[in-house]
Amino acid sequence: MEWPSCLNEYEKLIIRMDTPRVVIDNAVCPTATLVKVDSARKHGILLEAVQVLTDLNLSIKKAYISSDGRWFMDVFHVTDQFGRKLADDSVISYLEQSLDMKEHDFHRPDSAEGLTVLELTGADRPGLLSEVFAVLADLCCGVVDAKVWTHNGRIACLVTVKDKLSGCPIDGDPQQLHHVESRLRHVLKGDNGVCGARTAVTSIPVAHTDRRLHQMMFSDRDYERHSPSAASSTSPAVSVQNWVEKGYSVVAVQCRDRPKLLFDVMCTLTDMEYVVFHGTIDTDGDVAHQEFYIRHKDGSPISSEAERQRMIQCLQAAIERRATEGIRLELCIEDRAGLFSEVTRTFRENGLLVTRAEVSTKGDTASGVFYVTSDAAGQPADPKAVDAVRQRIGADYLTVKEEKRPQYRSKAGDDGDEEAQGSGGVGIGLFYLGNLFWRNLYNLGLIKSCS
């Protein structure tokens, strides 16, 4: 490895000591590949490991997290997107290198030549995304890629753009940049002048778009419910309890399993500046169980009922942001000026609401994935409206794949759902506390007895 010239020998030694040690084992488990990571404990290191796994579209079916002093040991049971053990040597090699040494620890990312990143947050409404793309097209901003999340009446959007005519970054021209920001802020506020609309501009590429979208939504307080009934049987079951004897807060999550679930939960715990000392992740059929033993960065557990309720709301929001709603429409078409504005306007004109989207352009081709519903409540889109949109854009260019909306449930049963949700799902953590967690640590040889 080549070290940066700015590091002295002592700094190199510390880096060697703190560098995670990775073992990938295909022999122990017949159904999954074990990925073991030993590392020095520092804030965010667990999230980085989970992020590497999810970026490769690997499913984490089980995981055990434990710390001893200043060291972590994490064990992940992973499969590929088809539920198989990892067999591709190139994937395994990339995984080892990515977990073993983070290049961005030594080098700041270079600015993206010719690109500008726009961060937009505000109150969501029908047709808003169409208006955003229309403004960008009108101001000759070419969309390179964009990712949009909506949740609880809020929207967060990351858009990478460049000047359509010159190919230069728009932040190179202060007057143009001011004009773009002013127009977008006006669109986000709407005719009623809704407060909370924000725009930000940077020339530095976003290191991880999903992580940044979580941060933007969290900063925009999308976790705040408009009414107590908003957190009903459709919300993930989350409980937070204090284990006074050990000085931990115990967070338990139970919901329908899906890709990137652990990543979404870890983003929120990390951004709220909690440290995970121990944890277990397990799946039972299509239901995921997660339990974490956490403290504040200063070593203290959760200290008030208000903080406990905020934790529950934030974790529920983190899980719901990526929950698939509506019909999935996949776009692949020849790129042209104003294409995304035209597509999203067609959705709006046919009464379809975009709840989540990811679009990009590469060469002469534009591609995208849109999730559409008939309203903000997630009601199914009218098939006739979807057909009309496809005919307008081109049935060969816009294909349909309907996905079922996830239904979150608790093992407590239907009769206990309402009570569990109203109290933050207090009951769901009791089964695991002192049971599954300690048994798993015993099986790993991390403790001498699980009794």
d(Cα 103, Cα 296) in Å, to the nearest integer?
28
**Which of 105, 124, 153 is the endpoint of a domain?**
105
Q: Is residue 218 part of a domain?
A: no
Q: Is residue 153 part of a domain?
A: no
Q: Is residue 129 part of a domain?
A: no
- pLDDT score for 325: 75
Q: Is residue 429 part of a domain?
A: yes
Query: CA 194, 196, 198: angle at the middle one, nearest 5?
Result: 115
d(Cα 236, Cα 258) in Å, to the nearest integer?
12
Write the CB contacts of 305 (distance below 8 Å, at least 6 apart in sequence). Answer: none
Instruction: Look up tokens 């900063």; give the residue.
Output: 219
**Which pair of structure tokens corresponds to residue 319?**
């899980």
The reply to whether 295 and 377 lie within a common domain is: no
The reply to whether 346 and 277 lie within a common domain is: no
- pLDDT score for 70: 74
420, 274 contact by CB (below 8 A)? no
The reply to whether 258 and 317 lie within a common domain is: yes
The reply to whether 252 and 310 lie within a common domain is: yes
Q: Is residue 297 part of a domain?
A: yes
* Structural domain that includes position 28: 9-105
The reply to whether 279 and 421 lie within a common domain is: yes
Q: Is residue 213 part of a domain?
A: no
**Which pair of structure tokens corresponds to residue 83?**
């539920």
The reply to whether 247 and 297 lie within a common domain is: yes
- Give tens-digit pLDDT for 165-181: 777 778 777 888 889 99
Q: Is residue 15 part of a domain?
A: yes
Write the CB contacts of 429 (distance below 8 Å, at least 6 apart in sequence). Answer: 239, 240, 241, 250, 251, 252, 291
89, 29 contact by CB (below 8 A)? no
The reply to whether 265 and 238 lie within a common domain is: yes
d(Cα 225, Cα 221) in Å, to the nearest integer?
9
Q: What is the pTM of this model?
A: 0.83
**Which pair of structure tokens corresponds to residue 196?**
């909370």
Lowest mean pLDDT among 107-111, 116-120, 307-311, 358-362: 107-111
| Residue from 79, 62, 67 nearest 262 by CA | 62
What pairs with residue 252 in β-bridges? 239, 291
User: pLDDT-based confidence at 251, cuts 50/70/90?
Assistant: very high
Cite the DSSP H helix spans in 245-356.
261-271, 305-321, 339-349
The count of structural domains within the chain is: 3
CATH number for the domain that contains residue 434: 3.30.70.260
The reply to whether 400 and 422 lie within a common domain is: no
**Which pair of structure tokens corresponds to residue 394?**
């081109």
Does 219 have pLDDT greater than 50? yes
Find the helix or strand (DSSP H, E) in which 25 lies. Answer: strand 21-25
Query: How many alpha carbons lie under 13 Å from residue 141 in its C-beta half-sphere?
Result: 30
- Residue 29: other Cβ atoms inside 10 A: 15
Residue type, 29: C
- Give tens-digit pLDDT for 87-124: 999 999 988 888 875 544 433 344 455 688 999 999 99
The reply to whether 14 and 25 lie within a common domain is: yes
**Which of 44, 78, 105 is the endpoint of a domain?**
105
Q: Is residue 47 part of a domain?
A: yes
The reply to whether 29 and 67 lie within a common domain is: yes
The reply to whether 316 and 431 lie within a common domain is: yes
- Give tens-digit pLDDT for 391-423: 999 999 999 976 544 333 344 444 434 333 333
d(Cα 127, Cα 252) in Å, to the nearest integer?
37
The reply to whether 232 and 342 lie within a common domain is: no
**Which of 105, 122, 157 is the endpoint of a domain?**
105
| Residue from 106, 89, 108 nearest 1 by CA | 106
